[in-house]
């Protein structure tokens, strides 16, 4: 069964700093790797989806990478802003066609 771990569990950075969130998974046979953000009291918003054949995806200040062989993905946020404060989750489906979520990283960007 796929297990997804996210480190760190919480992170505080000053505004403007670049940061990296980490996601590791045990089953490398994932079909894709997805990054979401969750704001308090809200559902999840999809940020980036990396297909298994891809190495990275970019959207604005966000860049996500995928290394299936090592079971790792990273989300890089450039020039962080207070509006980036949220919980970030990664998830990846395997042969069971089930989307396994990590435990999340709670990010606080301090103005």
Partner 1 sequence: DTAVSQTPKYLVTQMGNDKSIKCEQNLGHDTMYWYKQDSKKFLKIMFSYNNKELIINETVPNRFSPKSPDKAHLNLHINSLELGDSAVYFCASSQEPPRGNQPQHFGDGTRLSIL
Contact residues for partner 1, defined by CB under 8 A = 31-32, 34, 36, 41-46, 49, 51, 87, 89, 93, 96-101, 103-104
Report the alpha-carbon distance of residue 58 to residue 49 in Å, rounded.
9
Strands 10-14 and 105-110: parallel
Q: How far apart are CA 19 and CA 59, in angstroms?
A: 15
Please report how close the Cβ of residue 16 comes to partner 1 at its closest, in angstroms: 27
Identity of the residue, 73 or 111, whose beta carbon is nearer to partner 1 in the bound complex: 73
Closest approach, Cβ 92 to partner 1, in A, equals 9
């Amino acid at each position: 069964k796929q297990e997804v771990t996210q480190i760190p569990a919480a992170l505080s950075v000053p505004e403007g700093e670049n940061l990296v969130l980490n996601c590791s998974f045990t089953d490398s046979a994932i079909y894709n790797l997805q990054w979401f953000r969750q704001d308090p009291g809200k559902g999840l918003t999809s940020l980036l989806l990396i297909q298994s054949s891809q190495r990275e995806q970019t959207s604005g200040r966000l860049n996500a990478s995928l290394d299936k062989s090592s079971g790792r993905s990273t989300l890089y946020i450039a020039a962080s802003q207070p509006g980036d404060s949220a919980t970030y989750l990664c998830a990846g489906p395997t042969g069971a066609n089930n989307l396994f979520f990590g435990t999340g990283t709670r990010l606080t960007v301090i103005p």
